[in-house]
Amino acid sequence: MTTETNGDVSVQDSGLDALEGLVSHTTTQGIPTLYAARPGDITAGLFFRVGRADETLATSGVTHLVEHLALHRLGRSEAHHNGATADTYTLFHVTGGEDEVVTYLNDVCAALRDLPLDRLETEKEILRTEAAGRANGVNHQMPLWRYGAQGYGLSGYDEPGTWGLTADQVRNWAATRFTRDNAVVWITGDHVPEGLDLTLPAGRRIPVPAASSALPVTPAHIPGEDGHVVFDAVLRRSTAAAVLADVLGRALFQELRQEGGYSYKAAADYTPRDAGFATLTAYADALPEKQDAVVGAFVDTLARLRAGRIEQAELDSVRAKSLKRYDAPDLGAALLPSYALNLLIGHRLLSPEQHRAELRAVTVADLREVAREAWDGGLLQVPTRGADWAGFAAAPRFSSSAVTGTPHRSLERDDVTLVIGAEGVSLLLPDGPVTVRYDACAAMTTRPDGARVLTGLDGFRVAVEPTLFRDVTAERIAALDAAVPADAVVPLPARDPERIPRPRERETGQTPVHQAGGDAGGKTAAPDLRRLPGWFVLLVAAEVVFGLGLLIAVVQTSDSAHEAWIHLARAILPTTLVIGYTRRVYHRIKHDRG
């Protein structure tokens, strides 16, 4: 099919011709445009092939910033509109009348051509506030453990780039990623509205980033929060893989809720990651006393599917449900967003007839092969003792080696040492080292007080707090700064002095140390009285004098004319108040000084 809009010739590639009669296509100012009729208001979307996975940890948030800046001038409107930034795409969408849709899309493109960078600092603060109030999902740490602090793993972090990104960086990102050659438009209408001005700079289609790996061995398990069991796996995109996700979700619900009564929620999900791969995620909740039972039943369900013990009825039920989706009215309009996204990232486009044929062709043997693929590459998050018994190896909590360099002993623990070397930094912990090498540093945050936190591409993190280690001088910090690549540095503002950590008191026994080196716990000893303020020492001295005076008064009044116990009883109340107040002050000083 060939159509024209605003003088542009339609696109004729990527399998779009297979959708003839369902979805129409053309180009608008060089942007591929898909449209299909649907009654009522028009909904339109403008996709760009850029997202969080394209950033680095040090620039994380730049795509989100461009999205916010592009929407700033739109203000309030009767039309519903918004934007979204995902791992591999950014979407601007609107629902309203034809004029409202045209105005929205035109304004977004105009803003992308000339971002309101005078709003940059304000929008950065808005994004930081948004991140602070965002609730983490139960699987928020899975991307970090699987991919590390890069690519698809960045969705497990906040957006540290919102502290240090410059106007030039944001402007350049918009000019090279938000281009007409890196975009697709879709519209729910029987024609492309007149008056669209989607003029954007020329560019190129940005390929989807390759996936990294921070897991040396799979299947693997990681520790998680109480009450939650999560499993994910990266699968090749296929109809059989999508069917397996539904089969797994139904099996978990039946085993864990209906039969075992262990869980309230048990489900599975299949989400495309890029053109070739998707993520299978399964989840179940549990009461603390039922966690072991949930983990066991969860793993047993995965193992059953892996072994091919899948009933034909399970497959038939899921297949029938999937086939019904194609009975929906206005099917072409309903499928527009997925078709546009697949066109954008380079995945094949299947007509409803082609997808129905693939669904009917899926067999139990196909599901067994996909289940084995999921198991072999799986990552299991468990709140209990682990899953080594089921064949899941523990994901590495420590680095394979440490750097050589200058050792700095912890002021809190005798068995913890920070090493700053020519190749990187290591935190030597009792159970193993945590290392970040400069040439594999995803980001280093800096504070004016000298604190540095280095995060490696593998996700390991080392915090360098000069107040917690011996002899970490300004010269040592300067050498560290010179060794880290400048594009990995994220400057943070000064901290409140009360938030700068101080060594904790040493005690017999150990306190936990975070595996990534955020805190170094340690033994504690008696407090150093030299660090107490002078007024507190004077208060204690006054209390001693008061006590001596009280003792003398009691002795002097202990004769035949006076009963000493009466005087002593009258002195108990003020003495108790003074001692109690002194204890409260003492403990407050201990707390404030760490």
Task: Tell me whether residue 400 is in a domain.
Answer: no
Query: d(Cα 522, Cα 28) in Å, to the nearest integer?
Result: 64
Structural domain ending residue among the three candidates 373, 394, 415 = 394
* Total number of residues shown for the chain: 594
In the prediction, which pLDDT does 136 show? Answer: 82
Confidence of residue 563 (pLDDT cuts 50, 70, 90): low
Is the per-residue pLDDT at 231 higher than 70? yes
- H/E stretch holding 147 reads helix 142-147
Compare 459 and 328 and report the one with higher pLDDT: 459
386 domain residue, yes or no: yes
Is residue 450 located within the same domain as residue 488? Answer: yes
pLDDT over 50 (residue 1): no
Domain span holding position 568: 529-592
Residue 17 has pLDDT above 90, yes or no: no
- The CATH number of whichever domain residue 20 belongs to comes to 3.30.830.10
Q: How confident is the model at residue 575 (pLDDT cuts 50, 70, 90)?
A: low
Q: Would residue 314 count as lying in a domain?
A: yes
Mean pLDDT of 12-24: 78
Check whether residue 575 and residue 448 sit in a common domain.
Answer: no
- Asked whether residue 114 is domain-assigned, the answer is yes
Identify whether residues 116 and 163 lie together within a single domain: yes
Question: Residue 441 and residue 415: Cα distance in Å, rounded?
Answer: 26
**Are residue 246 and residue 386 in the same domain, yes or no?**
yes
> Which CATH number belongs to the domain containing residue 409 in this structure?
2.30.29
My answer on whether 419 and 442 are in the same domain is: yes
Q: Is the residue at 251 inside a domain?
A: yes
Residue pair 148/156 in contact by the 8 Å Cβ criterion: no
Give the pLDDT score at 532: 42
Neighbour order of strands in the sheet with 228-236: 266-272, 277-285, 228-236, 379-382, 220-223, 393-394
Q: Are residues 273 and 131 both part of a single domain? A: no
Give 85's strand partners.
Answer: 90
Mean pLDDT for the stretch of residues 480-488: 97
Q: What is the DSSP string of 455-500?
A: EETTS-EEEE-GGGBTT--HHHHHHHHHHS-GGGEEE-PPPPGGGS
Sheet of 417-421: strand order equals 405-409, 417-421, 424-429, 432-437
Mean predicted lDDT score pLDDT of the chain: 86
Whether the pLDDT of residue 528 is over 80: the answer is no
Residues 173 and 128 in one domain: yes
pLDDT on residue 586: 47
Q: Which residue has the higher pLDDT, 5 or 347?
A: 347
Query: With contact defined as beta carbons under 8 Å apart, do 75 and 368 qualify?
Result: no
Statement: residue 495 has pLDDT above 70: yes
pLDDT at residue 309 in the model: 96
> Mind listing the pLDDT tens digit for each residue in 108-153?
999 999 999 999 999 999 999 999 888 788 889 999 999 999 999 9
- Does residue 115 sit in the same domain as residue 166? yes
Looking at the fold, whether 320 and 465 belong to one and the same domain comes out as no
The pLDDT value recorded for residue 541 is 55
In-domain check, residue 513: no
Distance CA 130, CA 458 (A): 26
CA diameter of the chain: 121
- 331-354 per-position pLDDT tens digit: 999 999 999 999 999 999 999 999
Among residues 215, 190, 232, the alpha carbon closest in space to that of 5 is found at 190
- Note the pLDDT of residue 490: 97
- Do residues 25 and 141 both lie within one domain? yes
pLDDT band at 298 (very low <50, low <70, confident <90, very high): very high
Specify the range with the lowest mean pLDDT, choosing from 20-24, 378-382, 465-469, 481-485.
Answer: 20-24
Q: Is residue 467 part of a domain?
A: yes
- Asked if 135 and 157 sit in the same domain, the reply is yes
Give the mean model confidence (pLDDT) for residues 424-434: 97
Query: Is 494 contained in some domain?
Result: yes
Indicate the number of domains in the chain.
Answer: 4
Percent of the chain residues past pLDDT 90, beyond the cut: 77
At residue 134, the pLDDT reads 83
Radius of gyration of the chain (CA): 31
Q: What are the start-end ranges of the H helices in 325-429?
A: 331-345, 352-361, 364-376
Distance CA 520, CA 532 (A): 24
Q: Do residues 482 and 555 both lie within one domain?
A: no
Report the predicted TM-score, pTM, of the whole model to 2 decimal places. 0.82
